[in-house]
Amino acid sequence: MIEIAEKTGSLYKVLFTIANYEENKGALRYKLLSAVAYPAFILSLGAAVVSFLLIYIVPKMQHIFLSLHKSLPTVTKVIIAVGSFMKNYFLESFVFAVVGIVIFRLVYLRVEGFRNTIEKFLLGISAYRKLRIARFSSVLAFQLKAGIPLVDAVRSSYTVISNHLFCKRMEETAENIEGGMAVDKAFEKAGFFDRMFIASINTGQRSGKLSEFIGRMADYYEKDIDKLLKIVVSAAEPAAILFLGVVVGFIVMSIMVPLFDINQLIK
């Protein structure tokens, strides 16, 4: 953005735009944290409870069950096996998970084909794709308003996106526009933009207000993401509690069923 200001001589406008962008980004980050904070706390607490049941309670119950020489239900056998595994190999499992994450990260950074597959999958997720398009469109609209040529503006705008595949397609889009392809066709060929965005590009190009229409699309996507976050926030809390209840309830029932049998046997 500072580089654009040097070209256009409008530093104060650029700094004002950066300030607004940082405020919006901070608000979005707060909404994301709000969406995941409580469910993450509930799931973490649930993981601790489940681990305690599997590592300490289930093995002790196993000794009681085995002492009676009575056949156990399949679900109880599964829970006992999981508890024994966690008790004996918890540290090894943790180290394996950490090593797996590190290897995944290295492969992602160094193997282009694997990285493209992951990024293509991410761009297939509507919310993720719209978030990237909103950020790209916002910067692109500002550059066009500042008088930057379209091809240069596209090449400068995609550098703010942390997705290599998206950047690669946008570079191809810039080359297609530079080669004489219609702007809407070039963006459509990228494969990331929906029909509404393409129609806006087409209308903006014909009316000579391309920057204005792209800016409106950026606002539209940001509002759409905001609505989605509100839905996620309202649904995540009960979903996390329900999931935790089902898991703990399953473990408790797998223990209680043999205990009922023992009670009947004693009677």
The rounded distance, in Å, linking the Cα atoms of 251 and 254 is 5
Q: What is the mean pLDDT of residues 179-194?
A: 86
Q: Where are the domains of the chain?
A: 11-121+237-266, 128-226
Three-state SS letters, 22-39: HHHHHHHHHHHHHHHHHH
Confidence of residue 81 (pLDDT cuts 50, 70, 90): confident
> Dihedral, CA atoms, 238, 244, 247, 252, nearest 10 degrees?
-110
The CATH classification of domain 128-226, taken from the options 2.30.30.90, 2.60.120.10, 1.20.81.30, 3.40.50.1700? 1.20.81.30
124-155 pLDDT, tens digit each: 888 888 888 888 888 888 878 777 788 888 88
- Number of helices (H), then strands (E), in the chain: 11, 0
pTM of the model: 0.68
> What pLDDT is attached to residue 218?
85
Which tokens go with 57?
């309670």
In three-state secondary structure terms, 156 is helix
Band of pLDDT at residue 18, cut at 50, 70 and 90: confident
- pLDDT value at 225 more than 60: yes
Q: What is the CA radius of gyration of the chain?
A: 27
pLDDT, average across residues 24-52: 76
Greater model confidence, 54 or 199 = 199
Is the pLDDT at 70 greater than 70? The verdict is: no
First to last CA, the chain: 80
Please state, in angstroms and rounded to a whole number, the distance separating the CA atoms of residues 187 and 198. 7
Structural contact between residues 246 and 43, judged by C-beta atoms closer than 8 angstroms = no
